[in-house]
Structure 1
């Protein structure tokens, strides 16, 4: 006989159950602006991990070694993200979505602001990269709790048959944050006349200019807090509280009742994460790296020129997200993602051709970036509906967060590192094979996953 979950019935449930209906526009703004801020914070680190931190936070030596060390600290946040999903998921499933969303935003924002104040290796030695790693870990904690809360805010307030469309709004935070972060870095490098191919350690950019995007995150966080503090609790969670469905330990409950969904959700996200961090972090280092003629394996673009190409491609990323939301509501989550994942596998086979440094020009690189970003938007868009729909209300924050962020370790934390090693050791075509393998694993997970388009979020 199965054991009933250890539920907690709170006496003052009436007030929670009678949560006010929030205007849809406010929900859209709150879910989008929060993830935009979180992804902005995350991407300014990703950009700096390639162009700034190898020069300022690690000892001088081999350039590739410094880059790999910097990318390792970049990956540290992905280790923290599942922990963040557990911590914030516990409170999100116990006390509500609204308060937890505020906490995750503050955690991420404070850590990002402090990175902008850190002394460098040349000033305090080995303590500098240690502090950088600590702040990166805190960034991961915050983002680990942010995404699930924003996804639940969107899905648990959506109209019937429109959940994937409603859930695509927080997903738009990724291209918006990317555009803001990289656009700001582009403006600063151009204004300060910074040459990434021949960086001047005493120049304005590496002396203090790189700190500006990190410090400006404080302004964005205050805007996000203002919007989120005006929210009410989601009606789905309010009904769960009123019905006495909360559990004392959401983490234990989700592993007891929904372990299969955790595994499926993790591998459903694998290809999305691998593709995205190949198309953003790794490709930046490859695109601006030394060419084979100069002892490298990269393409040799100027940093600013390559950023412009990435920013153009990001518009296609953003445009594909609402398309994927419509497709997922119209045809279902499973078949939509199966087709897109198949296309990602085909795209992986094109790396050797599209990224061949011989005769590489801006046109061919832009084609590569646009194809990758369109596929990214199509696969990323439905995820904030798919993962929450896999789990019951009383463990939804915890379950969707753990699946999403465990996938970040398997697909994102190691992707730039593995891709750099493969390109250096075996050629850029093997980076595409790596993406193909990740997509094949996701394809199998989608075959096993049930369709969730018409699943009820109550209960």
Structure 2
């Protein structure tokens, strides 16, 4: 068989991309470590700010901003301001998701970090109700809404930043760094309150010591911006941007048109992780010091230890999904969550300090496995052209249902009907997560750059 030659008589050269040697594994690993660090640092900053608010709401905001309402009503309203940010998160995911899908993940993430950082520092400087009256709680709510908008745009961008850079076979591992940053942020948040509490009296802490964790966040913001500015845009977004047609529909409209079922089911699959995680970080801190009368330092220390286990569970969850699949790991976490939700408050109500440590630790372990799945699972559910919007919206809806509602209703349910009834409430969330996960198909083998990403694929 003869070989056809070009006019110059020389064999045709293969295309440049064939001549180019494949990227060494070491180079890919170095790139992924930088990408993971950028995602991790970003969510550390974003959710450190979120976490210190949750802790302050549990410990001091009722007296500082809502003293006229009394202790119980003030605590309820304080938790309600925590929930305001969760309500704002879906709007943030739509607004910042639009820019993330149109302008890029990197630029949008820089904007969300800046908004979150500024809002948090201003909360640390905000005068209390004793100084400026009703203006103080109003300003607090406004700043909390800004935090919610930023958080709604942050998570999906950070998760996509890692998952869209990752090799398919290790996508679960790399994508979990987004939520790992959130868990580490909770440790930092509780740690700063623990340290300030150790070195000052309760009166001093309530007067001004609670402000220090908010003001310290400016250092983390500057570090996070530096890291994110040094990272490239994701290959999946760049490929999609080149293919985008003029007049293409809005990402939010496209997401609802093509994959509204996946948005709802993806949110439902994760409500267990949010409900257990935010009961642990927000409500149990208050329950341990108030209802159980345990020392504040011990309660904060238990929370830090629980979040350390949360970090380990997130890492394990992400790694296990690469081996066994996203769906199977999430199913197991939801199944285990049902009996634990029923056992949690009978265990806590023994009043034992050891029981409190065990309760908060196991709660965070189960939630952590769910959070370890979230980054890769939601990234793989949606088409690239509206992935930022859809993944962020699903995650934010899970945050509203699972993160805002349980801490808000916990005090009322427990005071009226007892802890076991609230355990039934949490068990129902785990059952919802189980049903929604069963309704979705496995996503582990999907290509994130494939324009034919499975739309409407439910089980």
| The two structures share one fold, judged by TM-score above 0.5 | yes
Which residue does the alignment assign to 2:79? 71
Aligned pairs for 1:175-254 within 5 A: 175-194=183-202, 200=203, 204-244=204-244, 247-254=248-255
Which residue does the alignment assign to 2:319? 326
Alignment RMSD (CA, Å):
1.4
Is the aligned partner of 1:86 residue 2:124?
Answer: no
Which residue does the alignment assign to 1:165? 173
Q: CA deviation at 1:61?
A: 4.4
Q: CA deviation at 1:439?
A: 0.7
Q: CA deviation at 1:324?
A: 0.8
d(CA) in 2 for partners of 1:442 and 1:39? 23
Q: Deviations over 1:393-436 (max 9, x none)?
A: 00000000001001111111111111111111111111211110
d(CA) in 2 for partners of 1:158 and 1:230? 18
Work out whether residues 101 and 387 of structure 2, in 8 Å CA contact, stay in contact via their aligned partners in 1: yes
Is the aligned partner of 1:269 residue 2:260?
Answer: no
Is the aligned partner of 1:454 residue 2:445?
Answer: yes
d(CA) in 2 for partners of 1:326 and 1:23? 19
Is the aligned partner of 1:390 residue 2:398?
Answer: no
Work out whether residues 272 and 367 of structure 2, in 8 Å CA contact, stay in contact via their aligned partners in 1: no
Q: 1:352 to 1:187 in 2, by over 3 A?
A: closer
d(CA) in 1 for partners of 2:329 and 2:301? 31
Work out whether residues 45 and 74 of structure 1, in 8 Å CA contact, stay in contact via their aligned partners in 2: yes
2:134 to 123, 126, 132: 126
Aligned pairs for 1:405-416 within 5 A: 405-416=396-407
d(CA) in 1 for partners of 2:130 and 2:70? 17
Q: CA deviation at 1:305?
A: 1.6
Q: CA deviation at 1:33?
A: 0.3
Which residue does the alignment assign to 1:45? 53
TM-score using structure 1 length: 0.90
Task: State which drifts further: 127-136 or 403-412.
Answer: 403-412
d(CA) in 2 for partners of 1:244 and 1:61? 54
Which residue does the alignment assign to 2:330? 337
TM-score using structure 2 length: 0.90
Is the aligned partner of 1:401 residue 2:402?
Answer: no
Q: Secondary structure at the match of 1:146?
A: helix
Which residue does the alignment assign to 1:99? 107
d(CA) in 1 for partners of 2:182 and 2:256? 29
Which residue does the alignment assign to 2:434? 443
Work out whether residues 351 and 431 of structure 1, in 8 Å CA contact, stay in contact via their aligned partners in 2: no
Q: Secondary structure at the match of 2:169?
A: coil
Task: State which drifts further: 260-269 or 86-95.
Answer: 260-269
Work out whether residues 245 and 394 of structure 1, in 8 Å CA contact, stay in contact via their aligned partners in 2: no
Work out whether residues 251 and 395 of structure 1, in 8 Å CA contact, stay in contact via their aligned partners in 2: yes
d(CA) in 2 for partners of 1:343 and 1:412? 19
d(CA) in 1 for partners of 2:443 and 2:253? 24
Which residue does the alignment assign to 1:350? 343
Which residue does the alignment assign to 1:6? none
Q: CA deviation at 1:207?
A: 2.4
Work out whether residues 279 and 372 of structure 1, in 8 Å CA contact, stay in contact via their aligned partners in 2: yes
Q: CA deviation at 1:23?
A: 1.7
Work out whether residues 173 and 319 of structure 2, in 8 Å CA contact, stay in contact via their aligned partners in 1: yes
Q: CA deviation at 1:352?
A: 4.0
Which residue does the alignment assign to 2:35? 27
Work out whether residues 82 and 144 of structure 1, in 8 Å CA contact, stay in contact via their aligned partners in 2: yes
Gaps of 5+ in 2: 1-26, 452-459
Which residue does the alignment assign to 1:258? 259
Gaps of 5+ in 1: 1-19, 195-199, 290-297
Q: CA deviation at 1:168?
A: 0.9
Work out whether residues 94 and 248 of structure 1, in 8 Å CA contact, stay in contact via their aligned partners in 2: no
Moved over 4 A (4+): none
- Which structure has greater helix proportion? 2
Q: CA deviation at 1:330?
A: 0.5
d(CA) in 1 for partners of 2:402 and 2:333? 17
Work out whether residues 189 and 304 of structure 1, in 8 Å CA contact, stay in contact via their aligned partners in 2: yes
Work out whether residues 77 and 138 of structure 1, in 8 Å CA contact, stay in contact via their aligned partners in 2: yes
d(CA) in 2 for partners of 1:206 and 1:440? 39
Is the aligned partner of 1:156 residue 2:160?
Answer: no
Q: Deviations over 1:121-147 (max 9, x none)?
A: 011111100000000000001100000
